[in-house]
Structure 1
Amino acid sequence: MKKLFLIIGAPGSGKTTDAELIASKHENITHYSTGDMLRAEIASGSQRGKEINSFVSKGLIVPIEIVIETIVTAIKNASTDIVVIDGYPRSIEQMTELDKYLKNESEVELVSVIEVEVSQDTAFKRVLGRAADAEVVRADDNEEVFLNRMKLYIEPLAEIKAFYTKQDVLKVISGEGTIEEIVDEMDNFIQSRV
């Protein structure tokens, strides 16, 4: 039985870094970033990559069929029993489609959805700081795209949180502290649930 943890958070909340650090500490955890999976497909130059890029380059959400297929394949191919995916779900549709999939899936259990909560101000400074520090600037690291991504993140958030709270799987962690503090809290929580 694969144990699935989803990590959600605003752009710049640090969710990918947190998940990478936790996975690097434990041989029994596989980490996938939805964003990284989609960016890898774009970088491959495939037809699907071009299709994904037509959405990502504008800060729009990639169609559900493409994302679900990518995620399901990743979970099933993971070499470990604990899988952490960050950046998913980002919409009500993504949430309900994954829920439908999990209801019919005996090999995967959703253990928890962890929200890394940060203020828009903190997220904004981190994303634009990342763009300033990076040798390779991501196309989505600019103010206009950030604000669009933030809006897309916030719009469905209350409904997503209510859905997972009702299932008793939502855990909210403050993303305002140091990376070490956030990673320790998240790691301790994950270890307590496996």
Structure 2
Amino acid sequence: MKKLFLIIGAPGSGKTTDAELIAKNCSDKIAHYSTGDLLRAEVASGSEQGKLIESFTSKGNLVPLDIVVSTIIAAIKSTTKEVILIDGYPRSVEQMEALDNELKSQSDVSLVSVIEVNVSESVARDRVLGRARGADDNVEVFNNRMKVYTDPLKEIQEFYVQKNILKKINGERSIQEIVSEMQTFIQSKI
């Protein structure tokens, strides 16, 4: 059975970097997918679905549920690794419920934990605006992305706390400290 770990956090929390490093450190058994990277790859392909995705992401809005869930399930099914880290998901209560329902129908995938990388809004803002990777890294889009992240957060946290699978990690430390704690936690669960 494949073991799934979801990694959530504000824009700029470092969740993608953390997951990339853990997957690199344990490349024999851990695969990592960033929801954002999966969607950006589709946009870069120039497909019709990619154009549709870009019409949402360019404004900092959420991509429609069916597109995101099908993209994630396809990534999980395509890997041969036993442990999968997906960062940047869920970003809404609807996404959370849709994945939960989809996983109930999958006998070969188990959601082991949701890891929340906590950073303050000011740290997140400084990191995102400091890196300015793309057109979506400006104050207006950051504020929208932050609101999109924080609005459903309490309900998402409560859902995973009830399942006893939410793990919070302080994301305002060095990358080494965060990765070490997260990797130790993941290894304790597999």
**Structure 2 length as normaliser, TM-score?**
0.99
Distance 2:136 2:177 in 1: 27
Kindly indicate whether residue 4 of structure 2 is the aligned counterpart of residue 4 of structure 1: yes
Specify the alignment match of 2:128 in structure 1.
Answer: 127
Specify the alignment match of 1:101 in structure 2.
Answer: 102
Specify the alignment match of 2:24 in structure 1.
Answer: 24
Q: Deviations over 1:91-141 (max 9, x none)?
A: 00000000001111110000000000000000000001111xxxxx31211
Amino acid at match of 1:153: Y
Amino acid at match of 1:6: L
Kindly indicate whether residue 164 of structure 2 is the aligned counterpart of residue 168 of structure 1: yes
Specify the alignment match of 1:156 in structure 2.
Answer: 152
Query: Equivalences for 1:44-55 in 2 at 5 Å?
Result: 44-55=45-56
Specify the alignment match of 2:60 in structure 1.
Answer: 59
Q: Deviations over 1:67-107 (max 9, x none)?
A: 00000000011120100000000000000000001111110
Distance 1:138 1:168 in 2: 37
**How many residues are matched?**
189
Amino acid at match of 1:15: K
Specify the alignment match of 2:173 in structure 1.
Answer: 177
Specify the alignment match of 2:114 in structure 1.
Answer: 113
Q: Could you list the runs of 5+ residues in structure 1 that have no partner in the other structure?
A: 132-136
Kindly indicate whether residue 25 of structure 2 is the aligned counterpart of residue 15 of structure 1: no
Other structure's SS at 1:153 match: helix
Please tell me the root mean square deviation across aligned C-alpha atoms, in Å. 0.5
Specify the alignment match of 1:134 in structure 2.
Answer: none
Distance 2:175 2:136 in 1: 22
Other structure's SS at 1:173 match: strand
Amino acid at match of 1:157: L
Other structure's SS at 2:81 match: coil
Amino acid at match of 1:108: V
Distance 1:145 1:101 in 2: 30
Other structure's SS at 2:50 match: helix
Residue identity over aligned pairs, in percent, reads 63
Compute the displacement of 1:5 (Å).
0.2
Amino acid at match of 2:138: N
Of 162, 170, 193 in structure 1, the residue corresponding to residue 189 of structure 2 is 193
Distance 2:12 2:169 in 1: 15
Amino acid at match of 2:171: G
Runs (4 or more) in structure 1 with deviation over 6 Å come to: none
Distance 1:158 1:175 in 2: 18
